[in-house]
Amino acid sequence: MVLLQIAEPGAGPEPNTQRKVAVGIDLGTTNSLIAHFDGASLQVLQDGSGNPSLPSVVYFGASDVRIGQAAMAQASAEPANTIASAKRMLGRARGEFEDDPYVTLAPGDTLAFATAAGAKTPVEVAAAILAALRERAEPQLDAPISGAVITVPAYFDDAQRQATRQAAELAGIKVLRLLNEPTAAAVAYGLDEQAEESSVLAVYDLGGGTFDISLLRMRKGIFEVLATGGDSALGGDDFDRALADHILAELALANPSSTQRRKALQSARDAKEALTEQESVTLDVSDLAEALSEITIDRSVLESLIAPFIERTLHACRETLADAEVAAVDRVVLVGGSTRTPAVRQAVAECFGLEPLCSLDPDQVVAMGAARQADILVGNRAGDEALLLDVIPLSLGLETYGGLVERIIDRNSTIPVARAQEFTTARDGQTGLIVHVVQGERERVEDCRSLAQFELKGIPPMVAGAARIEVTFRVDADGILEVTALEQETGARSDVVVKPAFGLSEGQITEMLKAGYEHAGEDMQARKLGEAQVEAEGLLAGLRAALAKDGDLLSDAELRDLEQNAAALEAVMAGNQPEAIRDATESLGRATETFAARRMDRSIQAALQGVAITDLESDQEQGDGR
Ligand code: ADP
Ligand code: MG
């Protein structure tokens, strides 16, 4: 007997020994990188002139698109067509940037830049950068890329992660996984493979325009994000501006033109980077001012100019440590080009009382870790499934009757995670249900952030409280939330993948958490009040319906007594005393007991009569037949 090998038409038998080519991509605010791990060595891929970093800048001209250095060269001539730092706008709403002096928005409802090539969304800008990286890598690796791990800040929310995925799709890149940047840095140092039982790691990431501090816990190769903090408007660019102001002051240029300002900024950046290696630097300023041809800047001058910014990062570190209730960390990893500055390294070492890990290039470490993870995920290292776990930054829940939040997944739950809970209808005969998904730590819907709303239809009409609707929240490994509502009786089903209208910055997350703690007492009160009001409303509605139907069972005096009790309840319901509402609800409940008993008697009688009539009828029929 001959065994035939069956292959898809045209595909041919695939040799299973072939390594799949997967890459890691650090899609940065200032610079982006692409790296490859071939199982033995790690390689950060460079451009034609030996540059590993691709500036995250895209120029959309009338007739061509340029990316990176070539785009930056257009910045001064055509600022509106040259888009930088688009990452901070990924997955955000237009409203957040309407007053931003640095962006020219295209008309319309969506967040898009007005360029000579038409309206371009932040997703399209990111896609252009990703496509350029792919085009850089494929010829060097001599193979098409079969998948990529793309890194995102740990605080990126669902919308921001979705937008990153969309950008990759547009660039023709299959996303194996979105990986948190600090986790990627830890992986690059091989900390996921260390023997220690458990340790806490701080990742200090100071880039061009952003500062992120993340605390990770590692337990037997599993990472968990304990807390994130930082400042989305603090980075090396601030160092540049401070030094540029100093240069302009030295040159006695009190009112510099925008060209002079730009030149000073470029000189400042060059000087700052040179001062990382040298104790002092001499700048040629002949094209900036007539008075002087060159000035010398000492490292100590730069250090005193940037000290306040460094102090702000340390403040954020201390806050994040306190927030996570972490007293000490076992390791600190430096990430981001600005951590090359010696003063930054020193300050971080003093703050944590530890010599930080910095043997890997801080600009490249994130891309390196992503490349390692990509190699595992693409299936090149079978049986070596490193699990990378992250947590969700804010609790997820849904709106219940009375504007209250029922929490389904608690903040800091490790993802992926799925939780289900059963809900029911609030009104008799209710056939639809609005599922309103919210995010936050507060008890009232109005104080939380609304993520999505969808309707479950086709609930069979039943009395209030009889329907059983199971709502499931599922957060996948990328942090994307899917909510499903399922009516148990009919199997009616409805779901939504959450694509919130705008994202949250880490600052906003901190704000929401703070508000949650600060208002905890007040929120409990609000919750009690809401619950008491819902109960009271239910009783009043039931009573009104019963009176309309069986009011004749009561004497005038009894009716008056009930009405007085109901009016008393209505009066306290308008107030904000949950105890008073509960007391009034209870006394109205007691007052209705006799009425309820009589109604019960009447319905039993009616039922018995019903039985009797049919029985009689059938007896008669039988009798007739006899
Ligand atoms: P991002 O993560 O925001 O994309 P990077 O990690 O690439 O940013 O960091 C960019 C910043 O690092 C810029 O402000 C740049 O000036 C700064 N930088 C790069 N090299 C050096 C250096 N040798 N010394 C000091 N700062 C540097
Ligand atoms: Mg970065």
Clarify whether residues 99 and 215 are in a common domain: yes
Q: Quick check: is 459 in a domain?
A: yes
Helix (H, G, I), strand (E, B) or coil at 232: coil
Residue type, 163: A
Contacts of 592 (CB under 8 A, 6+ apart): 543, 546, 562
Q: Quick check: is 60 in a domain?
A: yes
Clarify whether residues 562 and 603 are in a common domain: yes
Query: Does the beta carbon of 338 sit less than 6 angstroms from any atom of ligand 1?
Result: yes
Instruction: State the CATH number of the domain containing residue 476.
Output: 2.60.34.10
Instruction: State the CATH number of the domain containing residue 600.
Output: 1.20.1270.10
Query: Does the beta carbon of 182 sit less than 6 angstroms from any atom of ligand 1?
Result: no
Compare 558 and 205 and report the one with higher pLDDT. Answer: 205
Strands 417-423, 390-391: pairing is unpaired
Clarify whether residues 53 and 85 are in a common domain: yes
Clarify whether residues 204 and 338 are in a common domain: yes
Query: Does the beta carbon of 341 sit less than 6 angstroms from any atom of ligand 1?
Result: yes
Of ligand 1's atoms, which has the minimum distance to the CA of residue 31? 4
Q: Quick check: is 266 in a domain?
A: yes
pLDDT score for 601: 79
Q: Determine whether 87 is an active site residue.
A: yes
Compare 429 and 195 and report the one with higher pLDDT. Answer: 429
The answer to whether residue 517 scores a pLDDT higher than 70 is no
Instruction: For residue 267, give both structure tokens.
Output: 């000189």
Q: Which residue puts its alpha carbon closest to atom 26 of ligand 1?
A: 338
Q: Quick check: is 12 in a domain?
A: no
**Neighbour tally for 241: CB within 10 Å:** 17
pLDDT score for 608: 64
The answer to whether residue 353 scores a pLDDT higher than 90 is yes
pLDDT score for 197: 74
Clarify whether residues 180 and 260 are in a common domain: no
Domain end among 264, 287, 304: 304
Residue 348's pLDDT band (cuts 50, 70, 90) = very high
**pLDDT tens for each residue of 422-435:** 888 888 888 888 88
Query: Does the beta carbon of 230 sit less than 6 angstroms from any atom of ligand 1?
Result: no
pLDDT score for 519: 66
Output the CA–CA distances (angstroms, integers) from residue 116 to 56, 59, 99, 180, 498, in the order listed: 19, 9, 21, 34, 33
Q: Which of 12, 36, 16, 14 is nearest to 26 (CA)?
A: 36
Q: Counting beta carbons within 10 angstroms of the beta carbon of residue 264, is it exposed (0 to 12), middle (13 to 18) or buried (19 or more)?
A: buried
Residue 28's pLDDT band (cuts 50, 70, 90) = very high
Virtual CA dihedral for 613, 616, 617, 619, nearest 10 degrees? 160
Q: Which residue puts its alpha carbon closest to atom 8 of ligand 1?
A: 207
Q: Quick check: is 516 in a domain?
A: no
Q: Which ligand is nearest to the CA of 151?
A: 2
pLDDT score for 440: 83
Q: Quick check: is 616 in a domain?
A: no
Clarify whether residues 357 and 287 are in a common domain: no
Q: Determine whether 263 is an active site residue.
A: no
**Neighbour tally for 54: CB within 10 Å:** 24
Average pLDDT value for residue range 535-547: 84
**pLDDT tens for each residue of 230-245:** 888 899 999 999 999 9
**Selected catalytic residue, list 26, 212, 447, 478:** 26
**Selected catalytic residue, list 124, 157, 181, 399:** 181
Q: Give residue for tokens 């020994």.
A: 17
Contact of 302 with 239, CB cutoff 8 Å:
yes
Query: Does the beta carbon of 30 sit less than 6 angstroms from any atom of ligand 1?
Result: yes
CA 363 – ligand 2 centroid, Å: 7
Residue type, 306: I
The maximal CA–CA distance of the chain, rounded, in angstroms, is 130
Average pLDDT value for residue range 336-340: 97
Q: Which of 363, 342, 321 is nearest to 215 (CA)?
A: 321
Using alpha carbons only, give the angle 179, 44, 332 rounded to the nearest 5 degrees.
55
Domain end among 349, 373, 391: 391
Strands 280-284, 294-298: pairing is antiparallel
Clarify whether residues 429 and 487 are in a common domain: yes
- The CA distance from 491 to 135, in Å, is 48
CA 273 – ligand 1 centroid, Å: 8
Clarify whether residues 277 and 363 are in a common domain: no
Q: Which ligand is nearest to the CA of 236?
A: 1
Give the range among 455-464, 477-486, 604-613 with minimum mean pLDDT: 604-613
pLDDT score for 324: 86
Q: Quick check: is 8 in a domain?
A: no
Residue type, 410: D
The residue range of the domain holding 481 is 396-511
Q: Which of 362, 313, 311 is nearest to 337 (CA)?
A: 362
**pLDDT tens for each residue of 57-66:** 999 999 999 9
Using alpha carbons only, give the angle 486, 488, 490 rounded to the nearest 5 degrees.
95
Which percentage of the chain shows pLDDT scores above 90?
42
- The CA distance from 165 to 156, in Å, is 12
Instruction: For residue 7, give both structure tokens.
Output: 């292959």
Residue type, 370: A
- The CA distance from 411 to 393, in Å, is 6
Query: Does the beta carbon of 153 sit less than 6 angstroms from any atom of ligand 1?
Result: no
pLDDT score for 529: 83
Instruction: For residue 413, give both structure tokens.
Output: 């739950």
Clarify whether residues 312 and 405 are in a common domain: no
Which percentage of the chain shows pLDDT scores above 70?
85
Q: Is the dihedral of CA 140, 144, 146, 148 positive or negative?
A: positive
65-74 contacts at long range (C-beta below 8 A, 24 or more positions apart): 65/117, 65/128, 67/128, 67/129, 67/132, 68/129, 68/132
Domain end among 511, 529, 556: 511
The answer to whether residue 390 scores a pLDDT higher than 90 is no
Tell me the CB-side half-sphere exposure of residue 187, using CA atoms within 13 A.
Answer: 30
Contacts of 93 (CB under 8 A, 6+ apart): 111, 501, 502
Clarify whether residues 106 and 196 are in a common domain: yes
The answer to whether residue 247 scores a pLDDT higher than 50 is yes
User: Cα 303 to chain center, whole Å?
Assistant: 35
Instruction: State the CATH number of the domain containing residue 290.
Output: 3.90.640.10
- The CA distance from 65 to 114, in Å, is 14
pLDDT score for 149: 95
Clarify whether residues 423 and 362 are in a common domain: no
pLDDT score for 352: 95
Q: Quick check: is 425 in a domain?
A: yes
User: Cα 308 to chain center, whole Å?
Assistant: 29
Q: Looking at the 3D structure of the chain, how many domains does it have?
A: 4
Output the CA–CA distances (angstroms, integers) from residue 128 to 67, 69, 73, 161, in the order listed: 7, 14, 17, 17
User: Cα 224 to chain center, whole Å?
Assistant: 16
Average pLDDT value for residue range 554-575: 89
**pLDDT tens for each residue of 33-44:** 999 998 888 999
Clarify whether residues 367 and 298 are in a common domain: no
pLDDT score for 72: 94
**pLDDT tens for each residue of 7-26:** 333 333 344 456 689 999 99
Q: Is the dihedral of CA 238, 242, 243, 244 positive or negative?
A: positive
Instruction: For residue 83, give both structure tokens.
Output: 């888009």
